[in-house]
Amino acid sequence: MAATHCPIVRPVSEPWDLTDEQSEIRELARRFSDEVIAPAAPAWDREHRFPAEVFDQLAELGLLGINVPEEHGGAGAGFVAYTLVLEELSRGDAGVGTTLAVHIGAGTMPILAHGDPGQIARLVPPLARGEELAAFALTEPGSGSDASAMRSRHADGRLTGTKQWITNGSHAGTFVVFAREGGDGDGDARDRVSAFVLRAGAPGFEVTREEEKLGQHSSSTADLAFEDSPAERLGAPGAGMRIALSTLDGGRIGIAAQATGIAQAALDVASAYAKERVAWGRPIGALGPIQEKLANMQTEIEAARALTLRAARLKEAGRPHTIEGAQAKLFASGVAQRQTGEAIQVLGGYGYTKEFPVERYFRDAKVTEIYEGTSEIQRLVIARALLGDAARA
């Protein structure tokens, strides 16, 4: 049975309270995912190729600035629409979703939120129009979950240091970079972390390595180095960790949407296969164990989608969403990891081969439990909100 025998299956239910605009945007992203992204995704995965041409097409559709206000070159459709787009594009290929999420959520939005009027006018419109991509450079070899342990330095308008695992690193034109100012660089109490904007091609800036990864082969993950590279401050001095953490609050909602899209893709293939694969004279979908797996998959995916949209609506309304974003990411990433594995189980031996895409979904899903805050960090965020001072005793 060839992979082409499995037609796309639409979700059993749709969010009932989307606006007409949000529904239209979701349908646009869905068609593009089905017609352009999904057919090419297996080749991108095999070739470890970044599909630059796809982002040119997404730019033409206005999706690279979907939630950026119109006066700054975007579509002005809001954060919920952005979340819907991320889910649909990630259903076609998770790497495309990652590139978009970092470009908009982690790269463009902090400039829009914390830049001065001149920075916003100069930097945001080209990003919103998709003329270039953005990146977010926080992690270093010695500072992952403990981001405040970074050693990159900024002095006299110049950056020196290294960054690791930077999405879009080999292709971005604008980088939001975090570094220390003051002190001796060894965690001195006088140190303060600030945010900066650095442009690709700046003197002393170099992409030192493109990472080889388990999955998401169509996205760029690079290591960066700076040596007296000119950079301009973003936001107030010492506000870097506040900017980083607020950016991650929104970014986690995007990762939850991505994870939901990956899980939905796995369900699409597994349920179609269960209708067509015949064993003991009937479709395997007639077997109780298969029905149980598919029912659990569909229910968990709907729950992940609901948590994600709840957090997205809170953010769009300007309300606190740190806990809700952490809950959405924690749950949706777990769903993606579990249910892509269940899809492989439904397909049996075929699921373990590259004839069907579920093995790719399984590989792509794992990192959603790691980047933009591991699942362990999300549990800490949730528990500390629940327990207050008792969690820090």
For the annotated catalytic residues, the residue numbers are 372
Contacts of 308 (CB under 8 A, 6+ apart): 83, 87, 253, 256, 257, 260, 328, 332
Q: For the chain, how many residues are written?
A: 393
CA distances from 8 to 44, 59, 91, 343, 354 (A): 20, 25, 11, 14, 18
103, 47 contact by CB (below 8 A): no
CA distances from 43 to 6, 38, 40, 347 (A): 18, 10, 6, 21
Q: What is the DSSP letter of 117?
A: H
| DSSP assignment string, 3-20 | GGGS-----S---TT--H
Q: Which residue is it, tokens 């709840």?
A: 310
DSSP-H helix ranges across 129-197:
none
| Residue in 344, 338, 337, 324 with CA at minimum distance from that of residue 367 | 337
The letter for the amino acid at 105 is G
CA distances from 117 to 72, 112, 113, 136, 261 (A): 11, 9, 10, 20, 36
162, 223 contact by CB (below 8 A): yes
CB atoms within 10 A of CB 7: 10
Contacts of 112 (CB under 8 A, 6+ apart): 68, 69, 72, 120, 124
Q: Are β-strands 205-210 and 192-199 bridged in parallel, bridged antiparallel, or unpaired?
A: unpaired
